[in-house]
Amino acid sequence: MSDQPTPQSPPDDEALAAWLAGDLDPAADAAVEAALDDPDTAARLDAIADVVARLRRVDEVTPPDGFERRLRTRLDEARRSAPATVTSLEQARARRTWTGVGAAAAVLVVLALGSLAVLQGVGGSDGGSAEVAMDDSAAGGADTAQQFSTTEAAPATEVTPERATAGDAPPAATAEEAPAAAADSSLEDAAQPPGPPQGPVPRVPPAAEATLPGPDVVLDETLIEAADDATVFAAFADLPELQAVMGMPVAEADTAAIDAIRALATAPALGGSAADACVQTGLGDRQPTLVVRVQALAYAGREGVAYVVASSQGDQVVDYAEVVVVEPATCTVLTAVPLTER
């Protein structure tokens, strides 16, 4: 792979091609994204996109009968269920702010992974990599999904920690269902009464989470507004769920990583997008990589989702953590902030 671009060196064509395919690691992806402000770089990207489309002869494929009708039906349904689909950042922020500030409606779902079951090897993994974990999550979503529920009376809701069995597990959210769920979420948000004044919203106090057993995945829709990396670091450096997995043996982390992905596959939508929509971007290429928190976060004014992930730099224990903030529509990495030393 080519060198990662720097502000002094625009990305080369190879990096642009990799960006187009979604194959870059988060840092390189973010660097290319930022470099597209340069018209020459954007033009080179356009040229590569043209080449790839021509090579694949994408314009020669004939969609099946009824494709356009089904597509438009789906889009019409989405528009009806979420009439305010194109919203300003301020509008979206206002809805999320209400969600985050209103204690009675705060949404913080903890997707417990069933640590005991994991340790006992129930539903264990094949010890694979992060990529294997993703594949497994997709294949096994329906029969290994975690049960979860939310209670709107409490600021934080824990998930029933037992692992669901094949017979009683809720169906995994499919690609077809996820947008509908997101649309439903948007509708619910839009129906909320006017909330408190806008403004930066502190993260749910750690005390509310400190009793959670680890390793868990925390899904928090409370919007954090971070102007820079230092703010991101301060918001996530001391998470209890992160501390719970640091030092975990790699073999155990392998299994937990897969369970985390499976849990996210069935999680509620976050900010209109599936909670795991960009999780692969957040995972990066270290193995294993545990997702411990998914958090709504606006970075330098851009709406995003933060994945707090932990991994191993060697082959012994989990010893590295970082926050990867992703723009959920395109999985563009807005920033990646290490929480531990490399």
Partner 1 sequence: MSDRAAASDEALVAAYVAGDAAAFDELVSRYQRRVYGICYRYFGDRQDAEDAAQETFLTLLRRAETYTARARFSTWLYRVAMNACNDLSRKRARRPRAAPSAPDPAQHAASDDPVGVRELALDLQQALAALEPEHRDAVVLHDVHGLPYADIAARLGVPVGTVKSRIHRGHARLAALLRAAEAEAPAGDDGTEPLDPARPPTGRP
Q: Identify residues 92-111 at the interface with partner 1 (CB under 8 A).
A: none
Stretch binding partner 1 (CB under 8 A), from 13-21, 118-126, 194-202, 205-213: 13-21
- 320 and 313 Cβ atoms separated by less than 8 Å: yes
Give the x-and-dash track for 127-166 against partner 1 (CB under 8 A): -------xxxxxxxx-------------------------
Q: Is position 212 an interface residue for partner 1 (rule: CB under 8 A)? A: no
Query: How far is residue 119's CA from residue 94's CA, in Å, rounded to a whole number?
Result: 42
Query: How far is residue 125's CA from residue 255's CA, in Å, rounded to a whole number?
Result: 5
φ and ψ at 335, to 5 degrees?
-165, 160
Of the residues 4, 10, 20, 102, which one makes contact with partner 1 according to CB under 8 A: 20
Query: How far is residue 36's CA from residue 42's CA, in Å, rounded to a whole number?
Result: 5
- 133 and 286 Cβ atoms separated by less than 8 Å: no
Please give the residues from 172 up to 201 whose contact with partner 1 meets the rule CB under 8 A. 174-176, 179, 182
Shortest Cβ distance from residue 23 to partner 1 (Å)? 5
Please give the residues from 303 up to 342 whose contact with partner 1 meets the rule CB under 8 A. 327-331
Residues contacting residue 3 through CB under 8 Å, at least 6 positions apart:
9, 12
- Looking at the Cβ atoms of 45 and 309, the one nearer to partner 1 is 45
Shortest Cβ distance from residue 13 to partner 1 (Å)? 3
Shortest Cβ distance from residue 108 to partner 1 (Å)? 24
Of the residues 6, 21, 160, 234, which one makes contact with partner 1 according to CB under 8 A: 21
Query: How far is residue 232's CA from residue 234's CA, in Å, rounded to a whole number?
Result: 5
Bridge partners of residue 333, in order along the sequence: 326
- Looking at the Cβ atoms of 242 and 331, the one nearer to partner 1 is 331
- Looking at the Cβ atoms of 135 and 229, the one nearer to partner 1 is 135
Tell me the Ramachandran region of residue 165: left when phi exceeds 0, alpha when psi lies from -120 to 50, beta otherwise.
beta
Stretch binding partner 1 (CB under 8 A), from 71-79, 197-205, 223-231, 306-314: 71-79
Q: Which residue has the tokens 């789906």?
A: 74
Stretch binding partner 1 (CB under 8 A), from 158-166, 215-223, 270-278, 290-298: 270-278
Does residue 225 sit in helix, strand or coil?
A: strand
Stretch binding partner 1 (CB under 8 A), from 116-124, 187-195, 238-246, 271-279: 271-279
Please give the residues from 25 up to 64 whose contact with partner 1 meets the rule CB under 8 A. 36-37, 39, 42-64
Q: Is the dihedral of CA 32, 37, 38, 42 positive or negative?
A: positive
Q: Is position 18 an interface residue for partner 1 (rule: CB under 8 A)? A: yes
Number of residues binding to partner 1, judged by CB under 8 A: 77
Query: How far is residue 209's CA from residue 179's CA, in Å, rounded to a whole number?
Result: 29
Q: Give the ranges where the chain is alpha helix by DSSP (H).
A: 13-21, 26-35, 39-55, 67-81, 89-101, 115-119, 130-144, 177-190, 229-236, 240-245, 250-265, 279-283
Query: How far is residue 206's CA from residue 88's CA, in Å, rounded to a whole number?
Result: 30
Please give the residues from 222 up to 241 whose contact with partner 1 meets the rule CB under 8 A. none
Using CB atoms within 10 A of its CB, is residue 76 exposed (0-12), middle (13-18) or buried (19+)?
exposed
- Looking at the Cβ atoms of 60 and 341, the one nearer to partner 1 is 60
Shortest Cβ distance from residue 307 to partner 1 (Å)? 14
Shortest Cβ distance from residue 52 to partner 1 (Å)? 6
- Looking at the Cβ atoms of 175 and 191, the one nearer to partner 1 is 175
Of the residues 4, 10, 13, 27, which one makes contact with partner 1 according to CB under 8 A: 13
